[in-house]
Amino acid sequence: MIANFGYGVLVITFLVTLYSVFAAIYGDRRQIPAMVESARRAMLLTWPLLTLTAGALIYLLINDHYEVQFVYEVTSRSMPTYLKITAWWGGQAGSLLFWSWLMSAFASLVTLRKWDRDREFLPWVIVVACVTMAFFIGMNVFFENPFAQFYQTFDGVKSYNLKPANSILFTPENGQGLNPLLRHPGMIIHPPMLYLGFVSFVIPYAFAIAALITGRTDDRWIRLTRRWTLWAWLFLSFGLVLGGRWAYDVLGWGGYWGWDPVEIAAFMPWLTGTAFLHSVMIQEKRGMLKQWNMILIILTYDLVIFGTFLTRSGVLSSVHAFAQSAIGPLFFAFIGFTLISSIALIIYRWGSLKSETEMTSLLSREALFLLNNLLFMSILVVCFWGVIFPLISELFSGQKVTVGPPFYERATSPLFATLMMLMGIAPLSAWGRSTVKTLGRAIWKPIVGAVVVTAVLFATYTQKIGALIGFFLVALVIFVTIYEYWRGAYARQRSQGENIFTAFWNLTGRDRRRYGGYIIHISMMLMAIGIIGIETFQVETQGTLGQGETISLRNYELTYREIAQWDDLPSGVNYRRAVLDVYEDGEYLGQLAPRIDYYYDSQQNMTIPGQRSTMRDDLYVLLVDWEPATAAGATFKIYVNPLVNWLWLGSLLFLAGIIIAAWPEKERERAAFKAEARVQQQTSAAD
């Protein structure tokens, strides 16, 4: 009953999105504002409708309705209620619905804003948002129905959207349960964050397409969507970081990023999105690169769809591809359709997207931003090629190949290093004109600072040349950024008579985007410290220990003390927990307790590491689950991951930086709006 209700509402929502598309186009072509308004209201209806659908699904999930195939696949009786709710995005059909639901929320939010000055954009924003939604909801309606139920017919038990003739409903006793890897808190928040990032990039894309169609190709669309883009970027970045943290905590390989195709799928729109964030500034300040910005946002949108396609279509099997189905070709067609029609629109408007000004210096801020774009695009090319190469190879030569971390690391590390260097130089260059002389005058102090830091590290920490280059660049960027901050605050202190702390605070408040951006640069460098640490200094060892025996790695010694095994029947989990004493250079530090959790419903193990985290390094101990683990002997895998905590620290600062940059500046905007209105009044009065 509830399942049929949910499916019915889903079908209605699908029809509503289609109506909205047609009404918007019709209303715009025939100049009937009432039709456009009707389209807008139809789009506003999608969120309550999808919320109702989601409510129905959550009801079924919570109340163990195993006659529903999706509920059967992702939950079981032993799962706690909160996990039954989050199982919503734990499988294919549910996560597609989740995508549409978030999309409808964003689409509603964007239509609720004041449209007075941008009426002509409205119908086309509706068209883009609703076509995207219709595609995703259509997937659910026709191929991946989360409400499909099991029916017993003469052919056996199968799932159907509607009750077939001569059948009876079939309800399994218990469900299969969620994959244990997905029960981790990181994995509960990671997909929503990633999807939030994905869907919020649809909004700037929708405005870009609206600008192209209406011919209003000035930078209005960019100003309107600036904050959306920043929030999209925030969610996507945070989603990526959470994914990394999850991998570090549960996948048991001692790392946070494995260059898995599905990780890369989420990373690619981030790359184009980051390039876009930088290059829109050139358009705002200098009226250049209009065509390029359009291309970037179109690429970002299609990479978002491509990312969902890679994770959801089963085209690649990887650790992330938990859910697979035959919806690949449709995704492929949709990507093709949106890409070709968007590019066709750019070509159509090519003339009106010409630059207003010329480039004046190779060292100007805009030239360096372009170089930054080239680097981001280069990393994108490497990633894209790495992801599709196995498919191409299989298609043309029949040979299955793997493109693993060595390829990506080798190909991207020089690009990342150049990017870091650029991060050091660009903030010191000026818009329009910059010469070697002005740049040199600004940069020599930070360079001296970075050389000193590198020399100290060489003497006390490492002689590895790759790591030293990395640390030099990190120090350079941090010094340059601090120097920039200092110059701004100092100028303010002099002109405003503020003390230096107030000056710092007010400076950030006055130009949030710029100084938020600088905080992001610093946070990136902290993250880089973590990455350099784990990539160049990670060590590992594995050994089987009897009780009382010791294994050592670097300065650490670990002694195997005891092991315990017990069942937690209500949760359906069996725990095996080993305890080790940890010593560093003979000094007792405490105990670590790695675990293996065995989930009875899904018959899968989860290895939970014992971790000891400091800013210097992480000691990370795993109980190896394919070997016997008893008091007589258990096999441990031990990693020392130097500096990895800087990665997590950096990501927190990163979050702060984006929030500062994206925080609404209400007063100023209102003032600007008033001023603009006044000018308009005056000019019309003069006419």
Partner 1 sequence: MGSSRTIFYFVLLTLVLAGFWTIPVSAQGPTPTDDEVNRIAKQLYCPVCESTPLDVCPTEACRQWRDLIRSMLAEGRSEEEIEQYFVEHYGARVLAEPPNRLATYLVPAVAILLGAFMLFRGFRMWMKPSITEAGAADAPPEPEQDPYIAKLEEELRKQK
Sign of the Cα torsion 389, 394, 397, 402 reads positive
CA 312 to chain centre: 16
Kindly state the smallest distance separating residue 401's Cβ from partner 1, in Å: 4
Q: What is the dihedral of CA 662, 356, 377, 390, to 10 degrees?
A: 110
Gap between the Cα atoms of 507 and 492, Å rounded: 8
Q: Which two tokens stand for residue 380?
A: 């994108």
Q: Which residues contact 673 (CB under 8 A, 6 or more apart)?
A: none
Give the number of residues in contact with partner 1, rule: CB under 8 A: 62
Please report how close the Cβ of residue 352 comes to partner 1 at its closest, in angstroms: 18
Name the packing angle between helices 92-112 and 33-62 (round to 10°). 140
- Tell me how far apart the alpha carbons of residues 220 and 231 are, in angstroms, rounded to a whole number: 18
248-267 positions binding partner 1, by CB under 8 A: 251-253, 258, 260-261
Binding-site member from 167, 176, 318, 547 for partner 1 (CB under 8 A): 318
Residue list 373-392, contact with partner 1 (CB under 8 A): 374, 377-378, 381-382, 385, 389-390
Of 51, 167, 542, 591, which lies in the binding site for partner 1, with binding defined by CB under 8 A? Answer: 542
Q: How far is the CB of 544 from partner 1 (least distance, A)?
A: 7
> Binders of partner 1 among 481-520, rule CB under 8 A?
487-488, 491-492, 495-496, 510
Give the ranges where 322-464 is alpha helix by DSSP (H). Answer: 328-348, 365-397, 405-425, 436-460
Closer to partner 1 by Cβ: residue 103 or 282 = 282
Residue 316 touches partner 1, criterion: CB under 8 A: yes
Structure tokens at 550: 């010791």
CA atoms 441, 490, 652, 270: torsion sign: negative
**Interhelix angle 122-142/202-214, nearest 10 degrees:** 130
Comparing CB distances to partner 1, the nearer of 439 and 475 is 439
- One-letter amino acid at 436 equals V
State the nearest-atom distance from the C-beta of 114 to partner 1, in Å: 26
CA atoms within 13 A on the CB side of 610: 23
Beta strands per DSSP E along 137-238: 149-153, 156-160, 168-169
Nearer to partner 1 (CB atom), residue 152 or residue 325: 325
Residue 502 vs 541, nearer CB to partner 1: 541
Query: What is the 3-state secondary structure of 220-263?
Result: HHHHHHHHHHHHHHHHHHHHHHHHHHHHHHHCCCCCCCCCCHHH
Q: Assess contact for 476 and 447: CB atoms under 8 A.
A: yes
Q: Exactly one of 362, 448, 465, 631 binds partner 1 (CB under 8 A); which one?
A: 362
- Our CB check for partner 1 shows the closer of 80 and 414 to be 414
Exactly one of 433, 670, 674, 678 binds partner 1 (CB under 8 A); that residue is 433
The amino acid at 277: L
Residue number with CB closer to partner 1 (346 or 428):
428
Tokens of 55: 């409510």
Which of 430, 482, 649, 659 binds partner 1 (CB under 8 A)? It is: 430
Nearer to partner 1, 398 or 586 (CB): 398
- Smallest distance from partner 1 to CB 7, Å: 34
| Binding string, residues 388-417; x marks residues near partner 1 by CB under 8 A | -xx--x-----xxxxxxxxx---x------
Would you tell me which residues interact with partner 1 (CB under 8 A)? 251-253, 258, 260-261, 316-319, 355, 358-360, 362, 367, 370-371, 374, 377-378, 381-382, 385, 389-390, 393, 399-407, 411, 428, 430, 433-435, 438, 441-442, 487-488, 491-492, 495-496, 510, 540-544, 605, 607, 625-626, 635
